[in-house]
Structure 1
Amino acid sequence: MFAPIRATHVGSLLRPPELLRAREDHTAGRIDADALARVEDAAIQVILGVQRDSGIGPYTDGEYRRNDFMSQLTGHTDGFVSQAPVLDWNASEDERHSDDAILNLIGGKLAHRERFTDREAAFLARYAPGPFKITLPEVTNFVVANWQAGVSGHAYPTRADIIDDLAAVVQTEVDALVRDGVRHVQIDAPCFTSFVNDKLIAVFEAEGLDARELLRRCVEADSRIVASLRERGVTVGMHICRGNYRGQWFNEGTYDGIAEDVFGQIPVDHWLLEYDTERAGGLAPIQHVPAGTTVVLGLVTTKSGELEDPDDLARRIDEASRYLPLDALAISPQCGFASEVQGNPLTWDDQRRKLDLVVSTAQRVWG
């Protein structure tokens, strides 16, 4: 049985300056892969210590070996080409950033070429001070963000056509993680909220797709992957947000329109749900989460350094307990601090204060 950790985080953490410099030097050819790996190793040791000192868990490597949360998969899977899609990001106070993250389009048939989380798992198994998790991207992300007719259409005539092949790639990797002895996997799904985003629903319909049918097929693919992990004793969490890129967001819309389809059909141990702004809507949709499943409330934002009021956080948790028992709840930041290498617009100290706030709030509420 999954014993919930009341204070957790989504996974990615701000990269220190020395790691950012090393990544730039490697890209420019000034250092080799081994030199970059040594800097990554040292930086991960530091961030493991930060997590230990804060009391948050389970441990992650901060996704320090990745360019973005999907890059390990795209870099080790046949069928991706080095061409970035144009994504419509939103920002507060007109603070816009150009989308120069490395995000590859699908340009050919997808097939798992080689392992992409093995180094992460092996390092955490050796050095994490306690239980750790490995994060993986989810099928819907690629259906929404990585298919483009002029680039992908010859291999996959519609975006729906990539689902089975992409799910097979993820399944191959999770099977290997089970053999590695990994006991906790988190699947990141920021694009489920695309199915409550009127702009994207219009895009799907203009392509001749039924948005509800597309969602159903993505949910079924995820359900098979999650069930295969849980059948072998692996704890599985799934994270849903609205996109996370240098303080910006991609999707808008509440959980109401997808709660029954998603929460009720994907058999995870726990959901990590973004709930830091009014964009997420009310807490009522969590009532669709089945008994025995934990909801981790993402009440602390990673999109700015402004620190939340502890009393407000406690009140939100109390509100959520109207829909689920308090023992079925936990707290976390709403997303990672750095879903891509540059990270969100807050400082290392801001990040630490946010982690400490999550832990102190959990201690206050649950003891």
Structure 2
Amino acid sequence: MNSFARATHVGSLLRPPPLLKARTDHAAGRLDDAGLRRVEQESILVALSVQQDSGIGGYTDGEYLRTDFMSRLTEHVAGFAAQAPSLEWQSGDHAEEDSSILRLIGGKLAYRERFTDREAAFLAAHAPGPFKISIPEVTNFVVANWDPRVSGPHYPTRADIVDDLTAVLLQEAAALAEDGVRHVQIDAPCFIAFANPRILALLDSEGIDARALLRRCIEADAAVVRLLRDRGVTVGMHICRGNYRGQWFNEGFYDDIAADVFGGIPVDHWLLEYDTERAGTFEPLHHVPDGVRVVLGLITTKTGELENPDDLARRVDEAARIVPLADLAVSPQCGFASEVRGNPLTWDDQRRKLDLTVSVAQRVWGGV
């Protein structure tokens, strides 16, 4: 197994019942910090075993120390308020206002303490092979965590948060490299916001040049990526459309952002959502620079329905007309639980999805 496995996954896994109960008991005062940490560690060992048994590459801790994919940062960086933003999540036939997984920016952002050190230390000690640590990126916060009433007194516009947030991410990235972490994944579900008519209209109403803001975010992310790669860290970036209990936040195709994003952020590989027609075609992959690899997120984590392996293999072949087959891999389209309650599928569904990912990779490349 290496840092670019032919069969990989985005990172988060469904929380097992003992961990969910421990978090509830801890919040209610029935379990102390040491007890919660013990259950967390036991649960991570189970997650590592599941990954090892399936043959999926790039071990993670399932994000079991997090309540959502950004929570370690929002809990350990100064400037976040307890108030959640109002976001419109899509589920196919209706939109639901529910954004409890996020926190608004309510003060000046400043690096207070490490937020991925526990994850890195435990995986370094217990992962059966190469592992990765994930961190969020600037665009997430620019789109989803800024509010004129709560954030505006500290950052009058969305663009004003970029420099301070980049400084935070650069400091944590440098610390991860110092820890000896060799693979970092940067999660970016909000790049597609810049192809989403609903969000573009909102930005326009605020007098924002959306393309200029996108490019500023790209420059910030590129600085984080360059720091990591200069220190010998492999960097992948994951782009999806949001992932919250089977729902999504953004709609739009890669076509509108591909030239700027794929050409502007010097990652080693991209992990791209491609499980539904909402992602569009593979044509935007023409903008991926030569030698940069692409992980095709063909298998949905939003439902337990299992895809047809013949269809998946054909889609890999289709993508290989644009990106050489040697530079492709497969994965689920996103994590199974970007927030603690997870997507509407079972533990067995999750395992079948991981097994399917591996079997497709074995069919296409002859191994993982």
TM band (smaller chain): over 0.9
- The alignment partner of 1:152 has SS state of coil
Q: Separation in 2 of the partners of 1:33 and 1:303?
A: 32
Q: Offset of 1:57 from its aligned partner? A: 1.2
Aligned to 1:152: 151
Q: Which residue of 2 aligns with 1:348?
A: 347
Secondary structure of the 2:90 match is coil
Aligned to 1:237: 236
User: Would you identify which runs of 4 or more consecutive aligned residues in structure 1 move more than 6 Å?
Assistant: none
Q: TM-score, structure 1 length as denominator?
A: 0.98
How many Å separate the matches in 2 of 1:219 and 1:225? 10
Matches within 5 A, 1:120-199: 120-199=119-198
CA deviations on 1:248-288 (whole Å, 9 max, x unpaired) are 00000000000000001100000000000000000010111
Aligned length: 365
Select between 214-223 and 97-106 the one with higher mean Cα deviation: 97-106
Give the match for residue 85 of structure 2.
85
Aligned partner of residue 89 in structure 2, secondary structure: coil
Is 1:71 aligned with 2:77?
Answer: no
Question: C-alpha displacement at 1:321, in angstroms?
Answer: 0.6
Residue number in structure 1 paired with 2:247: 248
Structure-2 residue corresponding to 1:307: 306
2:269 is aligned with 1:267: no
Letter in 2 for 1:222: D
Gap runs ≥5 in structure 1: none
User: CA 1:98 to 1:25, structure 2 compared with 1: closer, same or farther past 3 Å?
Assistant: farther
2:317 is aligned with 1:333? no
Q: How big is each residue's C-alpha offset from its partner over 1:105-157, in whole Å with a ceiling of 9 and x where there is no partner?
A: 00110001000100000000000000000000111000000000000001000
Q: Is the 8 A contact 1:19 1:40 kept in 2?
A: yes
What is the match of residue 276 of structure 1? 275
- Residue identity (%): 71
**Who is 2:57 aligned against?**
57
Cα separation, 1, equivalents of 2:99 and 2:185: 26
CA distance in 2, matches of 1:32, 1:205: 48
> Are the equivalent residues in 2 in contact too, given 1:68–1:101 (CA < 8 A)?
no
AA in 2 matched with 1:20? L
Q: Which amino acid aligns with 2:74?
A: T
**Distance in 2, Cα, partners of 1:97 & 1:64:** 26
Preserved CA contact (<8 Å) 1:272 1:296: yes
Once the two structures are superposed, residues 263-315 of structure 1 have per-residue CA deviations (whole angstroms, 9 ceiling, x without a partner) of: 01100000000000000000010111001110000000000000000000000
CA contact (8 A) 1:101 1:340 kept: no
Residues 362 and 284 of structure 1, relative CA distance in 2, 3 Å threshold: same
Q: Report the Cα offset of residue 223 of structure 1.
A: 0.4
Shift of 1:3: 5.9
Distance in 1 between the 2:229 and 2:138 partners? 18
Question: What amino acid maps onto 1:43 in structure 2?
Answer: S
Distance, in Å, in 1 between the alignment partners of 2:99 and 2:298 is 28
Q: Who is 1:119 aligned against?
A: 118
* Map 1:215-226 → 2, pairs under 5 A: 215-226=214-225
Give 1:4 deviation, angstroms: 2.6
* SS state at 2:272 partner: strand
Which position in structure 1 is the counterpart of 2:106? 107
Aligned to 1:357: 356
Please give the residue correspondences for 1:18-57 in structure 2 after superposition, counting only pairs within 5 Å: 18-57=18-57
TM-score (norm. length: structure 2): 0.98
Residue 187 of structure 1 and its aligned partner are, at CA, apart by 0.2
Structure 2 spans left out of the alignment, 5+ residues: none
Amino acid at match of 1:53: D
Q: Distance in 2 between matches of 1:103 and 1:250?
A: 13
Residue type matched to 1:349 in 2?
A: D
Equivalent residue letter for 2:192 = T
DSSP-derived class of the 1:110 partner: strand
Take 2:307 and 2:161, find their aligned partners in 1: how far apart are those partners? Answer: 40
For the Cα contact (< 8 Å) 2:3–2:234, is it kept in 1? Answer: no
Of 85-94 and 268-277, deviating more is 85-94
Instruction: Output the CA distance in 2 between the equivalents of 1:176 and 1:336.
Output: 25
Alignment partners' CA distance in 2, 1:137 and 1:301: 21
The one-letter amino acid of 1:45's match is: L
Is 1:110–1:166's contact at 8 Å kept on the other side of the alignment?
yes
